[in-house]
Amino acid sequence: MSALIEVRGVLRRFSGDLVGLGPIDLGVREGEFLAIVGPSGCGKSTLLHLLAGLDAPTEGEIQFEGARLAGPGPALGVVFQHYTCLPWLTARQNVALALRWRGLPGADCERNAQRYIDLVGLGPFSDAWPATLSGGMQQRVAIARALANQPRALLMDEPFGALDAQTRSRLQLELLRIFAEMGCTTVFVTHDIDEAVFLADRVVVLTPRPGRIHAEIPVTLPRPRTLGTRLGPDFSTLRARVAAALEEAVYTMSNGED
């Protein structure tokens, strides 16, 4: 698979000489599900914002589809941790709004919005107001809105982090189903090692700030994956590898090693 996204020598410096991230070199292959894990404050969200064009690197560059990434666009779908539904629009209208920004006719917007509402399993709630939807449902609306533009890459910043364990597990399965159906390149930031291993084709482990790549671990679990996947010995082995790499990254940085 060719690289859809290429991160080349990217470093993000904040006020003064504070380096929050990098330098980092990373390629994201087309059709890949890549998970990024690391300790709090290591720059996971910063990296995702850079990939989305919502922030710019201090040094280095990011290439998307072979060209320098200049900013956000419809080819990059973004889902944040906190729900971003507009409260004065129904679920379907929230999704249709993203299509209207692209200049699609009203009828096409509504028809396509309904398609993606159905895709995330919210068909019966198309006309519901966000205030009447649970947190998990609102996050499904956000995912449907991101997918409605048929992005080349879906970038997700801890989208299930604020949900209870049962809802989170259910949405992980929904995301796997959607990924299998659409094959959309996905970059997924999470604190949860189990979640990363369950969802991804490859897990990138970042060091504490400044976040750098400490390890890249391929996930060889076959797809499709089910809840039973978590019970197998291969899952346990991979989870242990990621956990060990994360612990090693923290230890290395805390002891001043590079």
- Higher-confidence residue of 164 and 105: namely 164
**Per-residue model confidence (pLDDT) at position 85:** 86
Enter the pTM of the model. Answer: 0.91
Residue 124: alpha-carbon gap to chain centroid: 26
Residue 200 lies inside a defined structural domain of this protein: yes
In angstroms, how far is CA 93 from the centroid of its own chain? 23
pLDDT of residue 24: 95
Examine residue 223 and state whether it is found in any structural domain, yes or no: yes
Domain that holds residue 16: 3-75+155-254
98, 148 in Cβ contact below 8 A?
A: yes
Residue 159 sits in a domain of what CATH number?
Answer: 3.40.50.300
Average pLDDT over residues 60-86: 90
Task: Tally Cβ neighbours within 10 Å of residue 117.
Answer: 26
Percent of the chain with pLDDT strictly greater than 70: 95
* One domain, residues 105 and 201: no
Claim to verify: residue 64 and residue 101 sit in the same structural domain: no
| 11 closest CA partner among 61, 72, 66, 64 | 61
Percent helix, strand and coil across the chain, each rounded to 5? 40, 25, 35
**Tally of domains within the chain:** 2
Q: Which residue has the tokens 């076959």?
A: 222
**Residue at 247 is within a domain:** yes
In a domain, 142, yes or no: yes
Q: CA-to-CA distance for 201 and 31, rounded, in angstroms?
A: 10
Six-digit token pair at 145? 């809105």
